[in-house]
Amino acid sequence: MANGITGIDHLLIGARDLEAARDTYVRLGFTITPRGRHIGWSTGNYCIMFPTDYLELIGVVDSGQPASSIKRRIAERGDGLIGVALATADAEAAFRELGAAGVAPEPVRSLGRALDLPEGTVTPRFSLVQLPPAATPQVPMFLCQHLSPELVRRPAWLVHPNTAVGVRSVIAAVAEPNAVVETCTRLFGVAAVGRTDDMVSVRLGSATILLATPRDIAELHPDLDTTTVQAPALVACAIAVGDLATTMRHLSDHSVAYERDGRAGLVVAPEDAGGVLIEFVAAR
């Protein structure tokens, strides 16, 4: 991969009611971290940690603090996927490489998150590189370097009742996928980008970003109502699990509706997953 990008770090799932979103994802079988608060901003989060990536449930928890683009996206989109954080091991080096590639990112900035634990509050820290909209495939993206990973990947947080082990893919609806090929190539490198008919895929380590029209997404997921999707928009993700039978049993035991799909996965509709279509697939 190019420009210091090593994969997907995490997916951001916006929530108008953060506590309700937490309850939803507990029912889906995920272990949820304690709540965090972004220092100096109005947002807070709960995280669903996997060994190399994670899901972030994010919402406004203190309207008295400065707002961010996250607050605006939640207001515009409601509940659901609102961004992709890309992993990097060195934010400063990635910033320089992106500039040399003509991407023009914003300068590296620091972020701290106050995380309330039983033994007291700790402060995981990150370095972020924001990408301008024109440099992304119509999907809000930024680069994230973890400066204190030991604070956010505790062993107990990596074990999930539904046996989830990581993000397999994320799907974005775009009006003309082929129009973003050049942008994807500049950002991720030519070797990471592929085309299949009218779809564009970006391979990032063990995960894939799929860019497709709402029509093609409807063919992939017939139960998803794409008539309400206003491209560009992130609409779905696939989560790898260690044991699909256990996943199925957990969903049934907690009265979560699901469907079997043609790829031998389990699909939970957006109305049952905080505005995101989630497909559970067997880990390779």
Q: Are 28 and 162 in contact (CB under 8 A)?
A: yes
The per-residue pLDDT for range 105-127, each reduced to its tens digit, is 999 999 999 998 988 999 999 99
Domain boundary, last residue among 113, 141, 157: 157
Domain boundary, last residue among 115, 137, 157: 157
What range defines the domain where residue 111 resides?
Answer: 5-157
Write down the mean pLDDT value for the chain: 94
**How many separate domains does the chain show?**
2
The per-residue pLDDT for range 1-58, each reduced to its tens digit, is 799 999 999 999 999 999 999 999 999 999 999 999 999 988 999 999 999 999 999 9
Residue 248 has what DSSP assignment?
H
Backbone angles phi, psi at 238, to 5 degrees: -115, 135
Asked whether residue 184 falls in the same domain as residue 151, the answer is: no
Report the sign of the C-alpha dihedral through residues 176, 229, 80, 239, in that order. negative
Residue with tokens 């989060």: 45
CATH number at residue 231: 3.10.180.10
Average pLDDT of the residues in 199-227: 92
Decide if pLDDT at 179 tops 90.
yes
The pLDDT value recorded for residue 231 is: 87
Residue with tokens 């969903």: 251
Asked whether residue 37 falls in the same domain as residue 61, the answer is: yes
Average pLDDT of the residues in 84-93: 98
Report the sign of the C-alpha dihedral through residues 221, 223, 224, 228, in that order. positive
Rounded Cα distance, 74 and 16, in Å: 7
Rounded Cα distance, 176 and 221, in Å: 19
Residue with tokens 């060994």: 51
Residue 195 has what DSSP assignment?
E
The pLDDT value recorded for residue 66 is: 67
The pLDDT value recorded for residue 67 is: 63
Asked whether residue 26 falls in the same domain as residue 151, the answer is: yes
Domain boundary, last residue among 103, 131, 157: 157
The per-residue pLDDT for range 128-164, each reduced to its tens digit, is 999 999 999 999 999 999 999 999 999 999 999 999 9
Average pLDDT of the residues in 174-195: 95
Q: Are 237 and 224 in contact (CB under 8 A)?
A: no
pTM of the predicted model, to two decimals?
0.96
Percent of the chain with pLDDT over 70: 99
